[in-house]
Amino acid sequence: MLHIVNKSATERSSLESCLRMATKGSAVLLIEDAVYAATNGNAAAAKIQAAAADLKIYALGPDLAARGMAGRVLDGVNVVDYGGFVDLVAEHSNCQSWL
Amino acid sequence: MQFGILVNEGPYNHEASDSAYLFARTAIEKGHKVPRIFFYHDGVNNSTRMAEPPQDDRNVTARWSKLAEEHGIDLVVCVAAALRRGIKDELLAPGFRISGLGQLVEMGIQYDRLVTFGD
Amino acid sequence: MSDMDEMDDGSGVVKKFMFLNRKAPHGTVYALEGLEVVLITAAFDQDVSMVFTDDGVYQLMKGVDTKGIEVKDFSKTYRALEGYDIEKLYVDQVSLDARGLTEDDLIVDVTVLSVDEMANLMAEQDVVISF
């Protein structure tokens, strides 16, 4: 399953809920304000890095760039463009947005 | 592959409709099909031709209309959500139509994937 | 009532639909309008599950009185779901615990799941619609 998260982890709990429920081997894509969680020094960074052991973590490049965060991405997070976003949805048999 | 897209937020207030648009356009560029996009909750506000954003901003509604015209996308606005918010047939931009929630359920049944963009 | 009329998309396909409710009622419209989608989906003879997690569990509170905020009390609609053959209602234990709630506080019978059970249930769905 592909989990899509769009909320900043320092404002809302959707990333935390997602990481709690994502089963081993599934993918998590951070878009919109959720991309901040995938950057160095963010309060959620440790959670992302711990989760990366069991989950594949992706962040949407255009949303990182738009926020001045393109150069601060955590190791272990895969940056994808919109083409990569489409591929992730196609590759996984189901997807879910943590609104 | 056939993708259905659900847009739950209005334009400008939230990034959801921008994300949905870029996803839809990119999916089509990559050879996928997006037969229908469904607008629900405040997402119905994407459909009004009365919107006049400043010249230097993107025109979200016109962008949807253009994409729909070029690729034959069915832009469906939920009737109950639309009436609540004052969106009526005579206000719709080209390519949009008002219909029931059954159109959303059909997307889930018939298409390979349903992707939701919202708040 | 018209919502109960059988609808058919002609394909005969039955998919697993999950409606994921993570938001409290009244603060925003998502719970109410989400419920409207669930009722329509019931008419399509799909395999429907409703999940209430995080603040979504607040949608199911007993003892709701909305008169003072002058909006519709739709909490009773959850009790009508059974009549629409929507019987798979799930709540997760962690979300109840984090809000000081138990099953007895809820307006309908639900199945309480552990995090692992909920995770597996989500993973096996064909379509997840979240509000």
- The answer to whether the Cβ–Cβ distance between B109 and C130 falls below 8 Å is no
For C53-83, the pLDDT digits (tens) are 999 999 999 999 999 999 999 999 999 999 9
**Residues of B with catalytic roles:** 78
Tens-digit pLDDT profile for residues A79-95 = 999 999 999 999 999 99
The reply to whether A32 touches chain B by the CB within 8 Å rule is: yes
Q: Does B41 sit within 8 Å of C127, measured CB to CB?
A: no
- pLDDT of B4 > 60? The answer is yes
Distance CA A33, CA A6 (A): 6
Contact B41 C126 (CB under 8 A): no
Output the pLDDT for position B51.
95
Q: Do the Cβ atoms of C44 and B101 come within 8 Å? A: no
Helix runs in chain A, H state only: 14-21, 45-51, 61-66, 82-91
Q: What percent of chain B has pLDDT over 70?
A: 100
Residue with tokens 């229908």: B36
Picking from B110, B105, B98, the residue whose alpha carbon sits closest to that of residue B39 is B98
The interface pTM score, or ipTM, of the predicted complex is 0.97
Taking only the tens place, the pLDDT of each residue in C78-105 is 999 999 999 999 999 999 999 999 999 9
Give the model's confidence band at C3: pLDDT under 50 very low, under 70 low, under 90 confident, else very high.
very low
> In what order do the strands lie in the sheet containing C88-92?
C111-113, C88-92, C47-52, C16-21, C127-130
- For residues B24-43, give the mean pLDDT: 98
Using the CB atoms, write b or e for B59-91: b if 16+ within 10 Å.
bbbebbbebbeeeebbbbbbbbbbeebebeeeb
State chain C's mean pLDDT as an integer.
Answer: 93
For B:1-40, CB contacts with A below 8 A are 1, 3, 8, 15-16, 19, 22-23, 25-27, 29-30, 32
One CATH from 1.20.1250.20, 3.40.1260.10, 3.30.460.20, 3.40.640.10 for A2-98: 3.40.1260.10
The domain at B2-117 falls in which architecture?
3-Layer(aba) Sandwich (3.40)
CATH 3.40.50.1100 at C14-62+69-130, yes or no: no
- The answer to whether C90 and C110 are in contact (CB under 8 A) is yes
Q: Hunting for tokens 């009329």 — which residue is that?
A: C5
Q: Where are the domains of chain C?
A: 14-62+69-130
- The model carries a pTM of 0.96
Q: Residue C6 has what pLDDT?
A: 63
Tens of pLDDT along A30-80? Answer: 999 999 999 999 999 999 999 999 999 999 999 999 999 999 999 999 999
pLDDT of residue C2: 44
For residue A55, the surrounding DSSP H or E stretch is none
pLDDT at C5 over 60: no
Task: Label each residue of B41-101 as H, E or C.
Answer: HHHHHHHECCCCCCCCCCCHHHHHHHHHHHHCCEEEEEHHHHHHCCCCHHHECCCEEEECC
User: Do the beta carbons of residue C62 and residue C54 sit within 8 Å?
Assistant: no
d(CA C46, CA C44) in angstroms, rounded, equals 6
Collect all residues from C whose CB is shorter than 8 A from any CB in B.
7, 9, 11, 13, 15, 17, 28-30, 33, 36-37, 40-41, 43-44, 46, 126-127, 129-131
Residues of chain A in contact with residue C126, where contact means CB-CB under 8 angstroms, are 93-94
In contact, C126 and C85? CB cutoff 8 Å: no
B77 touches chain C (CB under 8 A): no
Residues 6 or more apart whose Cβ sits within 8 Å of residue C46:
B105, B108, B109, C14, C15, C16, C17
- C7 contacts in B (CB within 8 Å)? 102, 105
Residue A99 near chain C (CB below 8 Å):
yes
Kindly report, residue by residue over B56-111, the tens digit of the pLDDT: 999 999 999 999 999 999 999 999 999 999 999 999 999 999 999 999 999 999 99
User: In angstroms, rounded to a whole number, what is the distance separating the alpha carbons of residues A65 and A81?
Assistant: 11
Q: Which residues of B touch C18 (CB under 8 A)?
A: none
- Alpha carbon distance A39, B17 (integer Å): 24
For A27, A82, B65, the CA distances from A70, given in Å and listed in that order, are: 21, 15, 32
Biggest alpha carbon–alpha carbon distance for chain C? 46
pLDDT digits (tens, 9 = 90+) for C114-130: 999 999 999 999 999 99
